[in-house]
């Protein structure tokens, strides 16, 4: 039996790094012996709400942040979307407002700093634009004709500022901000952040906030 034992080999079905050892020398070899993980090719698992599922596609670029790595942004690709929603504790498929679909994000190379088991936050980029103007949602309101407008502060000859209504076209929305475009918009134009209670021709004192 000792001779047979010396000939025994334990083979892993996958390549990777041994990250945990449960086997003990001299003990019977059954149950979980080793944990082997691929520490180079990481995957982030997450759930996507049913209402957001139509906006994402396989191959979408993903930005990844980890609680343990501060403001460092890692990149990845949405590589899998489950064909069914997640299951409840009794084995039935979730539906209704709570339905979520498990997804996987393949982390790109250059993931130094990410470790298996870390908590992460992801942002799936479904659309991207550059060199556009955005304002807080609260800055956009409508006029009597139903047009979307914002209010800007215009410098007068006496150094005071009066508000002026500017019709705008709205587009992308993200993180409580909305893209706006209008001929009157340019770098340096002062936009009123909250349109509630504002009317054209009001005297205001601007306080400058830096936003992109």
pLDDT digits (tens, 9 = 90+) for 11-21: 888 888 888 89
Q: What are 141-196's pLDDT values in tens digits? A: 999 999 999 999 999 999 999 999 999 999 988 767 899 999 999 999 999 999 99
Say how far apart CA 154 and CA 134 lie, in whole Å.
19
Q: Check: pTM over 0.75? Answer yes or no.
A: no
Distance (Å, whole) CA 21 – CA 95: 40
Q: Are residues 99 and 168 in the same domain?
A: no
* Mean pLDDT estimate for the chain: 87
Say if residue 50 is in the same domain as residue 31: no
The first and second tokens of residue 168, run together, are: 């705008």
Residue whose C-alpha is closest to residue 107's, from 60, 43, 17, 38: 43
Q: Which domain holds residue 118?
A: 43-125
More confident residue, 64 or 95: 64
Does the residue 186 lie in any domain? yes
- How many domains does the structure of the chain reveal? 3
Identify whether residues 195 and 148 lie together within a single domain: yes
pLDDT at 69: 87
Q: Are residues 28 and 48 in the same domain?
A: no
> Does the pLDDT at position 130 exceed 80?
yes
For residue 55, is pLDDT > 80? yes
pLDDT score for 175 = 67
Query: Is residue 32 domain-shared with residue 49, that is, in the same domain?
Result: no
pLDDT at 26 over 90: no
> Are residues 86 and 28 part of one domain?
no
Which residue among 98, 125, 152 closes a domain? 125
In a domain, 176, yes or no: yes
User: Strands 177-181 and 133-136: what pairing?
Assistant: antiparallel
Distance between CA atoms of residues 66 and 68, nearest Å: 5
Reported as a single tens digit per residue, the pLDDT across 185-212 is 999 999 999 999 999 999 999 887 655 4
Distances (CA, A) of 203 to 49, 114, 197, 206: 45, 52, 13, 10
Same structural domain for residues 147 and 77? no
**Residues 6+ away with beta carbon under 8 Å from 24:** none
Contact 140, 178 (CB under 8 A): yes
In a domain, 209, yes or no: no
Confirm whether 212 is domain-assigned. no
* Number of other CB atoms surrounding residue 110 within 10 Å: 9
Domain boundary among 86, 105, 125: 125
Phi, psi for residue 97 in degrees, rounded to 5: -65, -20
Is residue 53 domain-shared with residue 120, that is, in the same domain? yes
Q: Output DSSP code: residue 126.
A: S
CATH number of the domain at 157, please: 2.40.420.20
Looking at 91, 125, 159, the residue that finishes a domain is 125
pLDDT (0 to 100) of residue 89: 66
Of the two residues 39 and 97, the one the predictor is more confident about is 39
pLDDT tens-digit series, residues 76-112: 999 999 998 887 766 666 666 668 899 999 998 777 7
């Amino acid at each position: 039996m000792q001779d047979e034992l010396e000939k025994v080999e334990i083979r892993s079905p996958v390549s990777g790094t041994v990250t945990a050892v449960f086997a003990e020398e001299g003990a019977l070899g059954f149950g979980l012996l080793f944990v082997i993980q691929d520490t180079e090719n990481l995957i982030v698992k997450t759930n996507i709400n049913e209402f957001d599922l139509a906006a994402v596609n396989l191959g979408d670029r993903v930005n990844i942040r980890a609680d343990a790595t501060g403001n460092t942004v890692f990149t990845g690709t949405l590589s899998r979307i489950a064909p069914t929603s997640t299951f409840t504790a009794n084995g039935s498929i979730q539906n209704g407002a709570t339905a979520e679909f498990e997804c996987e994000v393949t982390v790109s190379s250059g993931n130094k700093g990410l470790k298996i088991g870390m908590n992460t936050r992801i942002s799936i980029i479904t659309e991207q634009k550059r060199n556009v103007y955005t304002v807080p949602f609260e800055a956009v309101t409508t006029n009597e004709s139903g047009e979307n407008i914002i209010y800007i502060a215009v410098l007068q000859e006496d150094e005071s500022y009066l508000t002026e209504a500017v019709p705008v076209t709205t587009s992308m929305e993200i993180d409580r901000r909305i893209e706006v475009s209008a001929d009157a918009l340019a770098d340096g134009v002062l936009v009123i952040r909250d349109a509630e209670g504002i009317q054209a021709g009001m005297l205001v004192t601007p306080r400058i906030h830096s936003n992109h």
